[in-house]
A and B are shown apart, each in its own frame.
Chain A
Amino acid sequence: MSIRGFLNSVFEHKATPYVGLGVILIFLLGPIYWTLVTSLKTLPEAIRWPPSYLPGDITLSAYRDVLTRSPVPQYLFNSAVIALLTTLIVVIASVFTTYALSRYPYKGSRTVLLGFLVVRVIPPISLILPFYLILRQLGLINTRMAVIIYCIYLTYPLSVWMLKSFFDQFPQDIIDAALIDGTSRLGALFRVVLPMIANGVAAVAIISFLWTWIEFLAPFLFINTDELKPITVGLYYFIGDETIYWNSLSAGAILAVIPGILFFVLAQKYVVSGLTAGLGKE
């Protein structure tokens, strides 16, 4: 048998994709597993050599320490407030904008849509300086509002593009029927369109939430009071400590990752369709 024939039979074998995916999953999930295991250890066990790949006695002491004796609950709360408010503002704004741009085009509306696409090429790190200067001028430095304002910039253009595909696919006949019944155009949006594309709107909301949740640089630059820091910045300062409590830090990391993983498990299909529609995270 030729080499090519042999390789053919290997690659065409039913088990090959599973073996390949197994290797890839070890790389993708291994680090998360390792963080989880570390978070379930005591500190002496976490830094024992050689390391144990299963926690000997599973203990939740790291989580108890983090949740009762550290500011992590406050950090998580700040992250949630910032992400929820950003999401609320962005989703409301982008629903109206996209409905109008997708369904009621006017002279120049295509240019506006293109504008929403082009601004996404601007690297956020480039705009962090002008945002910092403006927010300082407005006296908003060291407030959660500063981060929210920046994150609106981060998520709004993306939301418009993700929602656009859902609005574009919506059948015009249904809107027309509602209009003939005497509903206003805004009434048609709320009573007919939104209920039917609720999944799409939910996907956009989830992605905006996550994107704000994982943001680091803006809160790092804009906030210096410990009580206002989100979890990403809070965890960063954990690492700077003299003695690193690896088990507590791991517990904090797991807590920071949970919302995202929960969303993927619960709403994977919609998130994926929203993402491929709007093309891209971050």
Chain B
Amino acid sequence: MKNLQIKNSQFGLIVSLPGLILLLLWVGLPLMLLIFVSFTRYDVINPVKFVGLQNYIYLFKDRIFKLALTRTLIFFAGSTLVTFLFSVPAAWFLSRIRYGGTLIRTLIMFPWAVPLIVSGFIWGWIFNASYGVLNHILTTLGIIKENINILGKSYLAIIAVIIADSWTRIPFMTILTLAGFTSISKSLYEAASIDGADIFYTTWHITLKLSKGPILTGLLITSIFSFRTIDAIFSLTKGGPAKATYVLGMLDLDYIYSYLRFGLAGALSIIMLVLCMLIAGIYVFFLLKE
């Protein structure tokens, strides 16, 4: 045919080539530069100098790095857990209602539209020590006697940033889990109920066990996003009080923005990248086992 002068495979290569170049320029190039920078002493005072693994060695010995690593693990694990504890029941309830499903689903999506930096502000206003609505609710209920400075106490500040972060992640996880739940054949439930299975049995053995794939996928995404995003912490606590919420991303930002030590920031970026891949790898292992 005249309109198809070149082969399909040639056409595919030509049309996708600009996109491929875009990917290489936008991801390949920065990645190479990052790897290079991580092996150099790169700051604003001295000339750039190759130093081998010194940046990595410095970080692994650094007390602040270890502290930030611990905080990161607590933060991302906590955020994933809270997201899970809200999303799976929400999806389960949604799969069992007959009326209003679309409306409730739309309402559940709302926090997803909130930029994390704004989520941090919104929760900061709720947690506020002097005017915060949460303090009012807790004192009215008699749970606390007088207002507490939630963001001023280390152990409470961690919980606060976990809430502000997971709050925006619940919608997506819920939708993904719900997609898993609703793809299960109705006949399985009917067969189980004929056998006399009760709701605990069917929920555990059918609903949850057959949705392992979507739930694991959702947890994977929640985990790596919580691991690498610091916006909520940034607007809520800025890493405080007394570095209680100082995660690796905050340290990275300080190296770039405050200390201007790009070599160390590079090494730290590589470490975060490897940790992220490690987390993803663990989930993919379990997903493939399914």
- The answer to whether the Cβ of A65 comes within 8 Å of any Cβ in the partner chain is no
Measured between C-beta atoms, what is the minimum distance from B225 to chain A in Å? Answer: 5
A107 within 8 A of partner (CB): yes
- Write out the residue numbers on chain B whose beta carbons fall within 8 Å of the beta carbon of A59: none
* B interface, over-half SS: helix
Is there a chain A Cβ closer than 8 Å to B149's Cβ? no
Contact in complex: A51, B133 (CB < 8 Å) = yes
0 or 1 for each of A6-40: is its CB under 8 Å from B? (1 = yes): 01100110001110110011011101101100100
Bound state CA distance, A107 and B171, in angstroms? 39
- Residue of B12, B131, B199 with most chain A CB atoms under a 10 A cut-off: B12
With an 8 A cutoff between CB atoms, is B244 at the interface?
Answer: no
Does A202 make an interface contact (CB < 8 A)? no
User: Does A68 lie at the interface of the complex (its beta carbon under 8 Å from any beta carbon of B)?
Assistant: no
Of A35, A126, A127, A131, most B-chain CB atoms within 10 Å: A126
Q: Among the listed stretches A70-78, A113-121, A139-147, A193-201, which one makes contact with chain B, having 4 or more residues with CB under 8 Å of it? A: A113-121
Q: Which residues of B contact A106 (CB under 8 A)?
A: 9-10, 12-13
Partner of A93, one of B18, B93, B230: B18
* A223 on interface, CB distance cutoff 8 Å: no
Task: Tell me the nearest residue of chain B to A104, going by C-beta.
Answer: B12
Q: With A125-B229, A127-B31 as given contacts, are A93 and B22 in contact (CB-CB < 8 Å)?
A: yes
A61 CB to nearest chain B CB (Å): 18
Most buried by B among A8, A115, A123: A123
Instruction: Report the Cα distance A165→B92, complex, angstroms.
Output: 26
**Please, how many angstroms separate the alpha-carbon atoms of A32 and B33 in the complex?**
41
- A residues 150-203 in Cβ contact with B at 8 Å: 152-153, 156-157, 160, 179-180, 182-187
Q: A80 CA to B3 CA in the complex, in Å?
A: 40
Choose from B113, B133, B167, B228 the contact partner of A264 (Cβ within 8 Å).
B113
With A and B bound together, what is the CA distance between A265 and B107 in angstroms? 8
B276 lies within 8 A of A121 (CB): yes
A253 near B121 (CB under 8 angstroms)?
A: yes
Contact A50 B136 (CB under 8 A): yes
Say whether A125 contacts B221, CB under 8 Å: no
Cα A102 to Cα B252 in complex, Å, equals: 38
Task: List, in ascending order, chain A residues with CB within 8 A of B228's CB.
Answer: 123-126
Given contacts A4-B198, A239-B235, 5 further A-B contacts (CB under 8 A): A16-B96, A28-B171, A103-B12, A129-B265, A156-B22
Can you list 6 contacts pairing A with B, beta carbon distance less than 8 Å? A24-B90, A129-B262, A179-B3, A259-B113, A275-B175, A281-B112
Interface residues of A (CB under 8 A from B): 4, 7-8, 11-12, 16-18, 20-21, 24-25, 27-29, 31-32, 34-35, 38, 46-51, 53, 93-94, 96-97, 99-101, 103-107, 109, 112, 115-116, 119, 121-134, 149, 152-153, 156-157, 160, 179-180, 182-187, 210, 213-217, 221, 232, 235-236, 239, 246, 249-250, 253, 256-257, 259-261, 263-265, 268, 272, 275-276, 279-282
